[in-house]
Chain A
């Protein structure tokens, strides 16, 4: 058997966390802890790059598969990647080290514990994206609640307790129905192995209910309107690194889940419920964009923009077109990079001024030009300017949508305009205008580590904006086969 590369990806952060656990916690800036965790996550990133290099793009079957007996005769510990999941793993391993560098400025107390929580979170998130067994997937999916609850609750802002509880209970409530569905699938088909389930298929008469149970979990996690209300609270109160993890990776679990499980396992039900998803997505796009326009808190504005962007993602997935699904995946990757970057840019000024209100700022361009340039890049990427990765995703999604349903596509396009409106208005109010606030005059421009983090994010955003081929090549075969499988399933029913 080959080297268990995926398990080592999952386990390495936990090993790092254990190591940190046994080091002494120092007050203030704990450099040892930071270097250890940074080293762990960078090694993890390199492993995932190695994974991408040796990944065979010409096949849609799962690669680097590990299959071990876990609970006798019932569940196997099975992990593997295909073209869809590998990108999410790389996104995770890419964002986490950046989070760890960013904690320099934002987390003051109990730094070691914070890093442990982030590392454990990373390993659970990687686990979600490579799990090939429903129970293993559920395990990782739910386990992530524990570190995130602590990250929001211990290191969060003023209303952290409320937000942490809301986050935890909302997601748990959504997920328990998925557990019922998973166990039911086991009794219906006799297995929880995703690959086998793809082959066997699930009886049509069960599909609708099972689809709804999975939907209840993914809709909360995505989040879709009307169950999105936990997201603004959690985002606003979480420390910067927590918001970044939430926006960049946690939200993608649900989108990934829709593609892997809802489409893959319940093709008939997916067709049945497409109108529901379309309606909710379109409402999410328009409604939350309008709400975002009204926000006075920068983090909240970005949080609502995340809901709108995830609305595009769900819309794209359920167009059931090649372009739509590819666009959704690229949009998720792009949103992972862009929203992470936006939360970090907000974090930069928050660390200096301790205010997230838009009205505090204004005229930043004349004091901190470097910051303003990068902020502009991310704002433009968020609204989907051609030449940034945001454009590729939205464009492909809308293309898929036009093929499938003209009206929905038109309404969604209005959302693009609204997106431009709130992002540009935010940028105008924060960066341009007169410099009224006296305290702002003393504000410092980006320091070295902030500059480094933001550039790290800016490079792939621009690179994939101009040259998305590496992404598309990776996912293409998997998506094509997914759609073929879907169509044959529909045809045979």
Chain B
């Protein structure tokens, strides 16, 4: 008998989903209780996962198709906390648009379940199952505000392009299966040594599919439109949670089954990384919508994360994980600010709406200021350390070109972050925004901003947690 305790979080979350669906069917006006129960479910799952982290080093289940190790636990915890905060700060926004329904928490829970399966997968089929589960939930979430044209458009675009990339991914998987004779990552890793062209095709197809999921250039086209069209809270979810999961899978693919083929994929990752860093920085300059701008900025940030992966070293993987964790915190903070730009039941999401914010809302704009400088990577804020670790790992492998291009594109990126700060601080003020925000929104903004500001006092803690992750 397998030790089912190890996948207790997944079991618990799937049971909660089913229970919540039944509850929604039989109880009228159940949206509030569904929200609270799903929050509770995520909380419990987080506790179970955290508990598990301490007892497990590396365990496999079901013929080694599921793996529980320190990386999967950490990434699951980040996913769960991200999902929790998204859910908890969504309610005011959803009520404003009259879409405060039971489906929302259930969909978020099922996509989280899909991501947890993805994160733990050690087998092509298990991986694909998790991927599809999370994608299907995300398609619906993107169109969640179905009365709005843009939201439907976003969902449709996401669906079509995502389905295409899933197809490529699946084709790549079948090629890899054909060469290795197994779907298990560990066995693939032992079998794949050949230099055959067709195998390279398989790897490329898989990498393309994954690059699409984390929106790395040149597979980023969907991101700005989908981010702009989706409801803001869903955009927040898009920018953090699926990226964490997809990044984990990326790491798993590169460093377990494809470990022996470093020469073949390293150049691809370096290219993806450089292209994303440069494109993310340059394309964001002309944007007027904050959500679109965030889309491009997150493309850039993914570029830095990939730079860590390209190093083919444990240091690099760890730095990428540190980067994505800090990125999650920064994005949570940024979106909390964005959700506060509300005036009489209307949300504002253009950069011009921030004009003169510092005069009417000094505290909010100070938070936004530190978040933006952190995103730009200016010391002593958290964003600087994220970049610092990545470039430390990159330079350890003497990849000077990657490091210099990356750092130069931070200068370009700094320009558009500064532009927002300029609008907030140097321009004329507009009307005041409402200040009656929910307690959770204030809480998430405060905590994340404090983490960003004071990260430099205790930088070792995060490094210590991450340094337990040794993939190679």
Contacts and interface: CB of A to CB of B under 8 A. Distances in A.
B395 A176 contact: no
A165 B379 contact: no
Interface in A185-200: 186-187
A186 B380 CA distance: 19
A440 interface: no
Interface in A43-65: none
Contacts of B410: 172, 176
Given A169-B414, A172-B414, A153 B425 contact: yes
A180 B395 CA distance: 8
A183 B380 contact: no
Contacts of A70: 459-460
Residue of A113, A135, A172, A187 with most partner-chain B CB within 10 A: A172
A79 to B, nearest CB: 15
Given A71-B463, A187-B396, A180 B391 contact: yes
Contact of B379 (A143, A160, A180): A143
Contacts of A153: 421-422, 425-426
Contact of B426 (A139, A160, A169, A172): A160
A71 B389 CA distance: 11
Contacts of A438: none
Given A169-B415, A173-B408, A138 B379 contact: yes
B400 interface: yes
Contacts of B396: 187
Contact of A72 (B373, B422, B464): B464
Given A71-B463, A154-B426, A177-B407, A139 B395 contact: no
A172 B410 CA distance: 9
A240 B425 CA distance: 19
B404 interface: yes
Interface in B421-443: 421-422, 425-426
A173 B456 CA distance: 23
A253 B97 CA distance: 53
Nearest to B456: A139
Contacts of B414: 168-169, 172
B407 A168 contact: no
B395 A187 contact: yes
A490 interface: no
Contacts of B404: 177, 180
B395 A169 contact: no
Interface in A431-451: none
Contacts of A145: 378
Contacts of B403: 180, 183
B338 to A, nearest CB: 22
A169 B463 CA distance: 30
B395 A184 contact: yes
Interface in A166-183: 168-169, 172-173, 176-177, 179-180, 183
A198 to B, nearest CB: 22
A70 to B, nearest CB: 7
Given A70-B459, A184-B395, A187-B396, A179 B407 contact: yes
B392 interface: yes
A253 B418 CA distance: 24
Contacts of B379: 138-139, 142-143
Contacts of B408: 173, 176
A276 interface: no
Interface residues of B, number: 30
A161 interface: yes
Interface in A131-156: 135, 138-139, 142-143, 145-146, 149-150, 153-154
Contacts of B407: 176-177, 179-180
B56 interface: no
Interface in B385-409: 388, 391-392, 395-396, 400, 403-404, 407-408
Contacts of B11: none
B312 to A, nearest CB: 16
B149 to A, nearest CB: 36
Contacts of B47: none
Nearest to A160: B426
Given A150-B425, A177-B407, A165 B418 contact: yes
B411 A169 contact: yes
A459 B421 CA distance: 41
Contact of B380 (A143, A165, A168, A173): A143
B460 A176 contact: no
A176 B415 CA distance: 14
A46 to B, nearest CB: 27
Contacts of B463: 71-72
Interface in B142-157: none
Contacts of A71: 459-460, 463
Interface in B442-472: 456, 459-460, 463-464
Interface in A101-156: 113, 135, 138-139, 142-143, 145-146, 149-150, 153-154
Nearest to B393: A183
Contacts of A165: 415, 418, 422
A325 B138 CA distance: 65
B364 to A, nearest CB: 14
Contact of A186 (B392, B400, B422, B459): B392
Contacts of B456: 139
Contacts of B425: 150, 153-154
A177 B410 CA distance: 11
A71 B400 CA distance: 24
B370 to A, nearest CB: 9
A161 B426 contact: yes
B411 A146 contact: no
A161 B392 CA distance: 34
A142 B460 contact: no
Q: Which 7 A-B pairs have the closest CB atoms?
A: A176-B407, A139-B379, A72-B460, A183-B395, A142-B379, A173-B411, A71-B459
Given A25-B362, A176-B407, A176-B411, 15 more contacts: A69-B460, A139-B379, A153-B422, A153-B425, A165-B415, A165-B418, A168-B418, A169-B411, A172-B410, A172-B414, A176-B408, A179-B407, A180-B407, A183-B395, A184-B400
14 contacts: A71-B460, A139-B379, A154-B425, A154-B426, A169-B414, A169-B415, A172-B410, A173-B411, A177-B404, A179-B391, A183-B392, A183-B403, A186-B392, A187-B396
Interface of B: 362, 373, 378-380, 384, 388, 391-392, 395-396, 400, 403-404, 407-408, 410-411, 414-415, 418, 421-422, 425-426, 456, 459-460, 463-464
